[in-house]
Structure 1
Amino acid sequence: MTTPFLTRRSLLAAGAGLSVAFMGRAASADEVQAGHKMIVVVCRGGLDGLSVSPPIGDADYAGLRRGIAIPPDAALRLDGTFSLHPSLAAIHAMAGQGEARIVPAMASPDRARSHFEAQDVLETGAAGVYATDSGWMNRALGAMGDRKVPALSVGATSPLILRGPVQTGAWSPGRASEKSPRLPGLLMDLYADDPLLGPAFAQGLETEAMARTALVGMAKGPPAGYAGGGLPGLQRQGQASAKRIGQTIAGFMTQPNGPQLVALSAEGFDTHANQGAAQGQLANRLLYLDSLAEGLRDGLGAEWSKTVVVFATEFGRTARINGTGGTDHGTGSTAILLGGGLKSGGIVGDWPTLRENALYEGRDTRPTVDSRALFKGLLRDHMGVDRKALDTTVFPDSADAPPILGLV
């Protein structure tokens, strides 16, 4: 559904030529958990949890995975059962400091294996497909009432998770501003007295300045040549670019009136063929996620202690390797939690094992954690969202998925 905000943002992008349109006022530090921040990265395509956090200690892992199993001597050990993929060295170092945990068997409540349907359920927070046209993160902003928490989407298109009636900002890495530097100011003068467009232009200009400040903090600025949705580094740039994007997002978040909630997409995890093991197609993609995480941590500095980052995907992949050296659409997958305020601990949720009789429908990792329960716990403990609103509005009819508390 088209909202007035989307119309204003489109007008700002097309008419004013701004690379950023930022909406909403920042809350004071004592209004939203003393300036706590939350970042959600949607890993699109179906991220293979059994490669992200290979259960090396599970007796059935190597036999199911065969040629794409992560060798024990290459895996980055977490405990007696789980390791991390060797591409996730920075995240592994965070785990060693108590700043990273895994949720190895998570899924949304709907068991769809269609990308479109599964992403819809993950991002809307509904119990079923196409039940609502707004994202749970946008509704969480609404549930914070008069606190007016600023939020930002990163990428050429705003992810569904952040779409809705509450105004949010948008930044697309590398998108050039209008050639005429006077045009935004002229449009601001033109619409200064308009009750609808005047504030929108003012906020857009404010965040254009915020973007420039964030980018000045980076020696080389944003990656060049980006034209597309999601995380550009994932398919077009190297690790250094992904790290710079993370640092630039952090630059937004550490400014006065900067966003406290951020959502972005990372593409390219649909590994049906030639997936690879310690090296290869998936390994390269995980390197970019690792670099993004490292950039966020480094850029946030002292604010890292107030930040939670979640990497989540629409579904996992089959436990068995397929005939083309890859994996097919599955169910349970791994979510990654990062942050300086994270409480130390082991895995989040139960591990169902990979025994034949434990696999979901005889083929997938059986989910033991409802994604809504994870997000609800973080929103309650970290962002101070009311429990009733979480059960009824943010995640409709979700009282049967109680929040996982005590992670932060």
Structure 2
Amino acid sequence: MTAHTPYIPNRRTVLAGAAAATVIAAQGVKFSVAATPGNKRLVVVLLRGGLDGLALFPPFGDSDYSKMRAGLALPRANTDGGVLDLDGSFGLHPAAEDLLAFWSAGELVIAPAAVTDYRGGSHFAAQDALETGSAGGGSKTGWLNRAVGALGSATGKGVTVSDDVPLILRGPGNASAATPPPRPYRNPGFFRQVQLLYGDDTLFSSMIVQGERDRQRTTDTVTAEDVQSGRGADRAQFLPIAAAMAGKLLASDDGPRVAVLEADGWDTHWDQGAMDGRLARSFSGLASGLSVLASALGPAWKETVVVVASEFGRTVKPNAHGGTDHGFATSAMMLGGAVAGGKIVGQWPGLSDGKLDKTGGIASGFDTRSLFKTALFHHMGINGNTVATTVLPGTASAPGIPGLIR
């Protein structure tokens, strides 16, 4: 058996983590802690808006990829400026290069065609299904809160780094929110004030004006629900700050053992870009945030599993605005020092017209909830019957996967 060489953060990650920690210290962030925790950690990262999984993990080995993606297709792996090769069939967007270290360390599992049981286009309904564990069930509690309750007093404490506790952590289980730093960019008129401040700087001022035009143009072409699909979460570019907070909490001997992070900016109906652009910037923030989380956890990383999921995916073909619309399946991933990774899981349905779902998106090849169950049963040690009947009931078709946890 080959020895496991754990993930080691690079210099950029260390610097990013230090910068995030400086912001946290300067803002006097409040922390919540537990009394008698165990050793296993679980983090769930929610990507709100609908992730374009084909962009994050391009299936360059699919013969239909370049044709179907058209202007959004990335150059093939092993070519100048191409995607980063993972296994000869799937690659990684260069902007998310920080994830490559996890793959190389055997600490990353990718499900490239993952979906819940929800089949519709509503962000809110899809997110509710992702967070409660079932579509149309009407549950008022989140599956992760039910898991916290099942863990008991030894490890039963959950925390989210946000202003409010998201649905996934709501319920009678012990969960709370750690107050993030003040974010001035959320204040009304902030960008207008910046524009006035730098009005004499031709380059910077023009960038602000163009950004505001793009924001308004996007708002004019999407629904009110699309605009609100982030449900108050910060953009992915700010994820390293929240990740540093979460890592510090989880690494503490008396800290919580379950955490939720959220990132907005994935609803890319307009001008999402291919190699560069706003989606690439979100990928960079996501990958950097996960690297900062691992670094902040330190030795506790080897006891950690992180599951990253989005409510749904995007269409395969770009729309008339240079973006993508709502689909069903997308990429999900599981990573951590406790993960036996370097693997692609689930069936790959292919990208030809005849194999797409009714939205024009990727057909389902895997149930996202299988990753949840894997983490809960095989990693956190929650009784399998409890997982099946209390935490994630009605999910017999989405079993946990043996062999993904060390």
TM-score (norm 2): 0.77
CA drift at 1:169: 2.3
Alignment match, 2:23: none
Equivalence for 1:8: none
Q: Which residue of 2 aligns with 1:231?
A: 234
How far residue 401 of structure 1 moved from its aligned partner, in angstroms, is 2.1
Matched, 1:312 2:278: no
Give the one of 279, 283, 298 matched to 2:295. 298
1:22 maps to which residue?
Answer: 32
Letter in 2 for 1:22: S
1:76 maps onto 2:84 in alignment: yes
Matched, 1:404 2:387: no
Amino acid of the residue matched to residue 154 of structure 1?
V
Please list every run of 5 or more consecutive structure 1 residues that lacks an aligned counterpart in the other structure. 1-17, 30-34, 177-227
Matches of 1:295 and 1:346 in 2, distance apart? 22
How many residues end up aligned between the 2 structures? 327
Aligned residue among 39, 45, 48 for 1:41: 45
Cα deviation code 1:166-205 (max 9, x no counterpart): 12121122149xxxxxxxxxxxxxxxxxxxxxxxxxxxxx
Structure 1 CA distance, aligned partners of 2:35 and 2:396?
A: 31
Shift of 1:375: 0.5
Show CA shifts across 1:194-248 (max 9, x none): xxxxxxxxxxxxxxxxxxxxxxxxxxxxxxxxxx9323563xx5xxxx4343223
Are residues 1:325 and 2:329 paired?
no
- Cα gap change, 1:308 to 1:301, in 2 (>3 Å): same
Asked whether the equivalents of residues 378 and 405 of structure 1 are also in contact (C-alpha less than 8 Å), the reply is no
Return closer, same or farther for 1:146/1:152 CA change in 2, 3 Å cut-off: closer
Q: Does the alignment pair 1:154 with 2:154? A: no
Which whole-Å CA distance do the structure 2 matches of 1:20 and 1:167 have between them? 17
Q: CA deviation at 1:361?
A: 2.0
Contact 1:103 1:347 in 2 (8 A): yes
Question: Structure 1 residue 44: deviation in Å?
Answer: 0.3
State how far apart, in whole Å, the 2-side matches of 1:383 and 1:147 are: 12
Structure 2 residues without counterparts, runs of 5 or longer: 1-27, 184-230
Task: Please give the per-residue CA displacement for 1:233-288, whole angstroms capped at 9, x wherever unaligned.
Answer: 63xx5xxxx43432232111111211111012100100001010010010011111
Does the CA-based 8 Å contact 1:318-1:363 persist in structure 2? yes
Query: Which residue is equivalent to 1:4?
Result: none
Residues 326 and 359, structure 2, Cα contact 8 Å, conserved in 1: no
Tell me how far 1:101 sits from its aligned partner. 2.1
SS in 2 for 1:335: strand
1:2-17 equivalences under 5 Å are: none
Distance 1:145 1:246, change over 3 A: closer
- C-alpha separation in 2, matches of 1:381 and 1:68: 38
Give the structure 1 partner of residue 116 of structure 2.
108
Partner of residue 130, structure 2: 122
Tell me the amino acid that sits aligned with residue 307 of structure 2.
Answer: V
Where does structure 1 differ by over 4 angstroms across 4 or more consecutive aligned residues? none
Report SS of the residue matched to 1:147. coil
Name the Cα RMSD after superposition: 1.9
The TM-score normalised by the length of structure 1 is: 0.76
CA distance in 2, matches of 1:233, 1:327: 18
Matched to 1:231, the amino acid is D
- Counterpart of 1:229 in structure 2: which amino acid? G
Instruction: Tell me, yes or no, if the aligned pair for 1:21 and 1:169 is still in contact at 8 Å.
Output: no
Query: Which whole-Å CA distance do the structure 2 matches of 1:249 and 1:145 have between them?
Result: 21
Alignment CA distance shift 1:339-1:272 (3 Å):
same
1:286 aligned residue (283, 287, 290)? 283
Q: Deviations over 1:117-136 (max 9, x none)?
A: 0000000002x225201100
